[in-house]
Amino acid sequence: MYVIVVGGGKVGWNLARELMDKGEEVTLIESDRRRYLVIEQELEHAVQYGDATELWVLERAGIQRADLVIAVTGDDEDNMLVCQVAKEKYLVDRIIARVNNPRNLQHFKMLGIQPAVSATDLILRLIEHEVPRYGLVHLLALEEEKLEIIELEVSHDSPAAGKRVVDIDLPEGCLIISVLRGGDGFVPKAETIVQGGDEVLLVLDPGLEEQITPQFTSPGDN
Amino acid sequence: MFVLIVGAGRVGSSVAKTALTAGHEVSVLDEDPLSHERLDVGADGTWEDRGGRFTVGTALEIDALLEAGIEQADAFIAATDGDNTNLVVAQLADKRFGVERVIVRVMDPYRAAWYAEQGLETISPTAHAISMFNKALDL
């Protein structure tokens, strides 16, 4: 596989190194002359100097035959446009873009650039997973299908504790799909009683979390 | 016509002033508050007194675009000093906000040509300079 990595910062350089260790053919493009000279001592001919938003720089790197283009500069506009021309002008099969500012993620999507990876976002998700505030964990977001699956811990003094599934006050567009209790999981029926200490999995339309969580947390937490 | 101009440098501010004088509604967005001065130079009264709008903000921030009135804009001009910024915000104006007329300055003639093929109205000062030099030398 031939991979072009754009941006020789910590992410790009290490990525290039890892890919080369795995036996892939890699060209790294770096636009800062001094940085380029440092990287060149290690990567030699596998690094090229230039601004990858200029088409001739991409062509010199052989973008016409690239299987994968990864844009990981510190500049979101650069990453967007490199990926856009890679995909639409040079018909590169696969692209991956780094998102520096998560607020720009919407712009990547608008330009059809996927996957767009945001480190901030990944770390936030890790924090959510490791330090579940209100006991809520995002397990899965099916963005295309517009569905999410979340996991919630049921507080003993929450409104839902001791209630039948059918009696829990939940908004339209969400469903309890599984209850985890004492290490076992089962699919609840309408009359299953949810207990404090249970973990429940819910599938929901995005954006309903805030209406759902108060049912499973103690009133004092909200 | 409501014209939104992003980037109040020499080009952006000059087009803004001309459009305002010609009787159009003009809103200017620039991240540098000092760029406002260019809109006042050589005119009587401030830009706002003459009916212009000015917003401080970055064009990639949707809130800044909204504050500058992108939803009402009939024409959008991307004239910051960065090709990449111009190309991204122009596509935002076109694809996301559906502005009828989007004109974008792209210094790099090759990309200006490619994005023009994709349907953007591009202006490349570099391409103009090249052809004028060539013409001056009868090439």
Q: Which two tokens stand for residue B68?
A: 């500058």
Whether cis (ω within 30° of 0) applies to the bond prior to A115 is yes
A76/B114 Cβ within 8 A: no
Write out chain A residues lying below 8 Å of B88, CB-based.
Answer: 77, 80-81, 107, 111
Please state the rounded mean pLDDT for residues A136-157: 77
Phi, psi of A150, deg, nearest 5: -125, 160
Nearest beta carbon to residue A78 from set B61, B84, B92:
B84
The partner residues of B28 in beta bridges, in order of sequence, read B5, B54
**Rg over CA atoms, chain B:** 15
Please state the rounded mean pLDDT for residues A87-91: 96
Determine the Cα–Cα distance for residues A33 and B5; give it in Å rounded to an integer: 34
Contact call for residues A42 and A21 (beta carbons, < 8 A): no
- Would an 8 Å CB–CB cutoff place B133 in contact with chain A? no
B114/A89 Cβ within 8 A: yes
Determine the Cα–Cα distance for residues A57 and A25; give it in Å rounded to an integer: 18
The pLDDT value recorded for residue A182 is 83
Phi, psi of B42, deg, nearest 5: 75, 15
Confidence of residue A128 (pLDDT cuts 50, 70, 90): low
Query: Is the per-residue pLDDT at B45 higher than 70?
Result: yes
- Would an 8 Å CB–CB cutoff place B81 in contact with chain A? no
Say which CATH topology domain B2-136 has: Rossmann fold (3.40.50)
Ranges in chain A annotated CATH 3.40.50.720: 2-122
Level-2 CATH architecture, domain A132-221: 2-Layer Sandwich (3.30)
At A9-62, the pLDDT tens digits run 999 999 999 999 999 999 999 999 999 999 999 999 999 999 999 999 999 999
Measured between CA atoms, the residue of chain A closest to residue B84 is A77
Strands B53-56 and B75-78, how do they pair? Answer: unpaired
Confidence of residue A210 (pLDDT cuts 50, 70, 90): confident
Please state the rounded mean pLDDT for residues B72-95: 96
- Would an 8 Å CB–CB cutoff place B63 in contact with chain A? no
CB-facing half-sphere around the CA of B97: CA atoms within 13 A: 26
Check: pTM over 0.80? Answer yes or no: no
Collapse the DSSP code of B133 into the 3-class scheme (helix H, G, I; strand E, B; otherwise coil) and give the result: helix
B88/A80 Cβ within 8 A: yes
CATH class of the domain defined by A2-122: alpha beta
B91/A111 Cβ within 8 A: yes
Question: What angle is formed at CA A196 by the lines to CA A177 and CA A178, rounded to 5 degrees?
Answer: 10
Give the mutation candidate from A77, A100, A111 for the B interface (greatest B CB count, under 10 A): A77
The partner residues of A8 in beta bridges, in order of sequence, read none
ipTM for the whole complex: 0.87
The pLDDT value recorded for residue A131 is 62
Q: Residues near A186 by Cβ (< 8 Å), separated by ≥ 6?
A: A178, A179
The pLDDT value recorded for residue A136 is 60
Confidence of residue A163 (pLDDT cuts 50, 70, 90): very high
